[in-house]
Structure 1
Amino acid sequence: MNKLTKIFTAVVFAGCTATAGASPLFMNPGDNDSGVPFGDADGFTYTFDMFTFNNITPTSAYLDLEGDGIQNGTLVFDSAEGEVGFLNPDTGSSEFFTDSWNLTFDYELWGYASVIDNGVANGEFDDGDALVANFVGGYFNMYFDDDVSTDGDSVPALSLSLTGSTFNDGGGINLTLFAEIESVLSDLFFMDPSFNGDSDLAEIVANNDPSQYGALITAEITNAEQAPADNGYSPTDFNDDVLTSLGIDLDDFDNEVFLTRTTTLPSGNLEIEVSAPATIAVMGLGLIGLGGFRRFRSSH
């Protein structure tokens, strides 16, 4: 059993269950570039429970170090970017969301491949098998653009650090990512009701214990049976940092190759969760030391 497979096995069997409810939010998009308030006079959206995005097409890059195919424990990197499609549920007032202002995002994740055998149970990806991942680190960043007709005015709005993930393949493959909130733009996201006297999410993050807030991202994965191929993938700086933290030097291998594929997430939701001490980030707590790795944040 190689080093990555041992780590993967530890990740799988370190599982625990975290449950918490989405905390209702509302937003203050403020004024557009001309100084005119969005929507009604107060500029605030109605309350919603989650951010929803549709038809995301992440690229997954599997590092086959020995050139012998993908198996349980193969290192995998996932990345994507896109737009938040709507504030869910749409309760009547989005203050011209996606018409006069919008939210975009990007992310990079890393973890270990997990093969769902549909034929021979050998833990290796063969024709007919499904290929998913146990993600253990990465970042998710959201950006606020106060006028979609003007380029270059997006600002960082929300930064998350991944702590762990889980998936199930009952009735479709569903993925859940657990994350900590690293930073929030002030005067943009608000909790309803307030928490410990604070309603601005930025103040909640600044004034409360990190175990009391976090985020969940849930998504359905389609075409997980697609076979990755050698498409000439070039590692990102994020990929290089992860490899360095794991003590992997690609120069030490002769047959290594990145095999990539683009899958589809037809829908996904991002929920902010507050007031669930010790449950939100618990999925990742037992994983932090498994590979001798550190958490990675975007350099954006």
Structure 2
Amino acid sequence: MTDHVRVYEVGPRDGLQNETVFIPTASKIALIDLLSRAGFEKIEATSFVSSKWVPQLVDAAEVMTQIIREGGTDYAVLTPNQRGFEAAKAAGADEVAIFGSASEAFSQKNINCSIEESLERFAPVAVAAREAGIRLRGYVSCVVECPYSGMVDPVAVRDTAFAMLDMGCYEISLGDTIGRATPDAVLRMLEAVVDYVPAHALAGHFHDTGGRALDNVSVALDMGLRTFDSAVGGLGGCPYAPGAKGNLSTTSLVTFLEGRGFHTGIDLTLLAEAEALVASLVTRSYEKVTP
């Protein structure tokens, strides 16, 4: 093995949040427990957002307080504001995440404010996280293309990512929100970003809508990134990006990385059990979407 790559499992939050049929709390807990046993260093367990916007995750506090926590695993949650942060802190979150965009149009559609206003909203969360000793992660959406305004300038990605780093994020996840990124576009974007944010502080978050996610992972590996987000069973997509269904499958990512000689530490047998559980819980088909 030549290097370690961290696989950041986002299925329990980013994957399940769009399911229209409510997944029982006990089932969510069982899924997270399985993923914990499989050896993930980071699991995004849930989100402390308004139940009006994400009713699927209304049981966030119950999930966080009832999971079986494994040593060596951090349990992260999404927190868009101070209220969400306080709830996450009370529930024992090891890590919290804020989410912004490199596209002004997407920022307005997704969180009803400009990019600058979103960063201003995140500042108190960053301060509170630092004071509480809780790690802060940042998400940047639409790092290549926006469903509303088209191609995104790499400079906008760079500036948003740097602003998050500057406010205290230990890592910034760069999201190909609508799954249309090509390796060339990812390379151009990363070449701009790594001049301001070091590769070790970046993660790749690629949707597989166009079947290019692993190609994009390969480019990011060559640029020095060593953390990638994925979802068990290819769960999820972006609710504000029509047709952009399907995060990169964790099994596909782990298999690809191990085949390239990288070490992930993930138990594929237990991961397969988690996929089987997911398949029994959701009603959608998770066949790869082709162009």
TM range (shorter): under 0.3
More strand by share: 1
More helix by share: 2
How does the TM-score come out when normalised to structure 2? 0.26
Structure with greater Cα Rg: 1
